[in-house]
A = this chain, B = another copy of it.
């Protein structure tokens, strides 16, 4: 029998309206490489949300978005600053370094970084014998489920502006972040408090695809050359355009984020009420409860999830991830076994 999986938010296909739209549009001919009417429709819909005439490009995945954006902006000797838990610092097989750039890391327990921590990195880089930090990379939500507030992002962006650093936000899980009760940011805010960010489709109900939003027009110069050179330009760009158009009709993107968060919150509230604690405060669709090892073994009989890290001899933190597709009954069954 198959176990239900809380391993991640990309275990299923796509929201049914997306598949429906792929079928409806299937034989309609379009031009290639992201200049088609569906991509343009998606761009127009996103611009209504962000209220800014930013440039919008679609690529197939998060690592691709990160490496294209970062390598397109930095000069060869420039580096990017990230949390030591940042996706680019740990989980992209050195993709950023493969484009020639150092990632300067900041130790953090909650996955977030502050202007003061960035200042400390700047203080260490004083002359041409060292790289020159030129960009700050953050994820929202972060790799450990935390989210940035509007106040935190405003401070960081202002600091970056003052120090001539670019601020780039990895939004692989932006859908869950923006619909989190802990986060008061809107998509419009994202477009006014960053130089570049991306909206993750893959982890919020699309088959594939991330939308890169370039707010600082200078950074958009010849950006399509970078996409092409790094292998990120799809011949059938329509595949992502159609999906993002659906995501941004009827608030679907946000509705899916809300559902994922609601399922995570139900898990977290109940787990809390049963007396367990968490590695980090539950804030979005990734939560990290600490359970006794014997309970974990028992839960593994019926559910799939990652054991995140050992906490002490007898207990460990696990990672539970919910998504737009998580059925409430699976949440209930999981809770029943605790």
Contacts and interface: CB of A to CB of B under 8 A. Distances in A.
A132 B94 CA distance: 9
A92 B7 CA distance: 36
Contact of A235 (B16, B61, B225): B61
A122 B308 CA distance: 17
A146 interface: no
A222 interface: yes
A103 B130 CA distance: 14
Nearest to A203: B235
A25 B325 CA distance: 13
Contacts of A292: none
A217 interface: no
Nearest to A12: B27
A13 B28 CA distance: 8
Contact of A79 (B2, B29, B94, B232): B94
A303 to B, nearest CB: 11
A75 interface: yes
A8 B32 contact: yes
A77 B222 contact: yes
A294 interface: no
A230 B229 contact: no
A101 interface: yes
Contacts of A203: 235
A224 interface: yes
Interface string A206-233: 0110000000000000101111111111
Interface in A1-47: 2, 4-5, 7-8, 10-14, 16, 19, 22-23, 25-32
Interface string A190-217: 0000000000001100011000000000
A19 B26 contact: yes
Contacts of A325: 27
B28 A233 contact: no
Q: Which of A101, A207, A229 has the most chain B CB within a 10 Å cutoff? A: A229
Given A19-B26, A32-B8, A97 B97 contact: yes
A2 B93 CA distance: 45
A95 B71 CA distance: 13
A172 to B, nearest CB: 9
Interface in A131-146: 131-132
A27 B205 CA distance: 11
20 contacts: A5-B29, A7-B31, A10-B32, A10-B235, A10-B236, A13-B26, A19-B22, A23-B23, A60-B60, A60-B61, A63-B231, A63-B233, A77-B228, A77-B229, A95-B228, A95-B230, A100-B100, A131-B225, A202-B235, A208-B234
